[in-house]
Structure 1
């Protein structure tokens, strides 16, 4: 009896491992931004529509006439274009998340997105909404209020056409992080910091300014040099950098020497990892991906002490993971995040993609045209049929634990 139960259990497990969901569609190898996997939703462009598949409920949704790169999809939230304007939606909800329809939207910067509503062809009628995941609208101000905050006293002659042509929203895009908004003066081009009530965080204007990360922000002074300030506006790391440093992550910030090599400083401004790498990503939980000098280019994993672990082969991180990653200068690269959080390292060798485990075991061989978005043990994968030919490509959401497809996309082309 026990033997029979064991056999039935094993048969059930094998059946689950071989189970596969078939969906109509394909992934876009030429434009990796046309598909994404976020751990729950598989989203992709197919012809002129966007397909959203919810793997938890096994429900498929179709957004007709939409484009995924324009939707700013994140954790089930997205913007749908309706009659020339955007409305915020949540997957499966027939009602908009917000009542407003927006003229322009930005992409997500971390967990915050900025959307612009126009209710009248003037500065008072152009309104910015900062929306944060799990919190909703955290601030909203008219363009007139934003101009007033930066002491812009020019003549307000904007009408509907001039606002559209001048694109004032581009002066305020992407700059809320770590509790502060960064605003740019429309004519002087200087930057200042404000809290969510639009009060100045501290006196001072900067030639250029980045958002705060880990309570420090890289800013450029009038002499064109970069340094770091804290949230009181105090200089913490001297203005000695000719090239813009990257933000702090894991207590380290990437800096570049005059020769073009990169290293890392700590929050005291000490160079703790020498500037000897042609490339290195920002750190994530104490790990970075860097490239050595020489030919062929070899990659390695850096820890926060500067210790190096070579890649398992003469290969690099898979380009599909970060070629379309927004704000790669500001946030750790997807391959670093995925490797640390999931234990899988997508790699690329001679234009072929594969996946290694943390122990450098080859999980997927280098038979793939693209590996993208490792989340919850799965990843988007495009497999070559005939190498170099687009005719026989196969499209999967691969289960990296079982090394088998969880979902396969296929279509009939007339």
Structure 2
């Protein structure tokens, strides 16, 4: 019997920057993520091998991490793609070792968002070559649908209550509130407004590193009467000892996101007793390969898991759904891409979201059909010339 993976050697890699228009404003403690009507770019990659292709995505979010549209595109074209070409497409472990030789991990993973785009494309390609979705490729699918949370980032209690009402009308029954945007009193008032508008539903508060230890302790104590389920990343990512001290003084479980880039980061935080819940985020961990390892380690250590994303478009959304399904993460996930952008390139089969619940894709690979003609029509020069060449091809890079 012919091995369908034997001839899958990476041949072609193309990188596209496509601007997606934001549907609504979105702000976090680090700054503005999106403004309604403004461009919100995505970096897509297409990998071809043996007549099969796979697609992946990176979501530049300078308000959240150091990678920008320009650095992601340049890293893929000039460093990661040359390291990947000629390798077996199925050898995703080997691909990550090649990535780490091309971009040194340093203190933690180097260029995780850029690496994630290629990792997702490889998973998509291998799944398509075998005709199975990613979950079946892993032999791991526990859930068929994932509940989602609605993001609230309004600057005042009135706006926060209105955003909560909008989410309820859309069928959502869980809310994630961005805090650290202003004064602590205002943040507490905003959370109280959400709780008043949505009594009895899960509420997840995310500070995106916006507080000092003492501020976070005061915040946690004031949020306790509001029945907040999780307090996420209130302190700097590189402050595990501060998070351990906070956890000892907070009755609200402490979730950690930005701190957990590599599975070894999670091991450190577990040893220091610095978290109750690990947040799984595909792009933050350089793709599905390491994100799976992180989730498995968390469960083996008895640490809770929560799912999150980077306002991904549909490729990233699908990847996260496969991951969360594989590990049975049924806590409402912060996969908010549909709330803020439209994935214009997904003109065929894609993720179905209904009444605040996303169905785990069942098509081959990631389960999202990409219209390449739309991608090429939308693509722009990542370095600022809207009339420059559309696709970035590593074979012609300087």
Q: TM-score, normalised by structure 1?
A: 0.24
Q: Structure 1 or 2: larger helix share?
A: 2
Q: Structure 1 or 2: larger strand share?
A: 1
Question: Which has the higher Rg, Structure 1 or Structure 2?
Answer: 1
Considering Cα pairs closer than 8 Å and 6+ residues apart, tell me whether 1 or 2 has the greater RCO. 2
Q: TM-score, normalised by structure 2?
A: 0.25
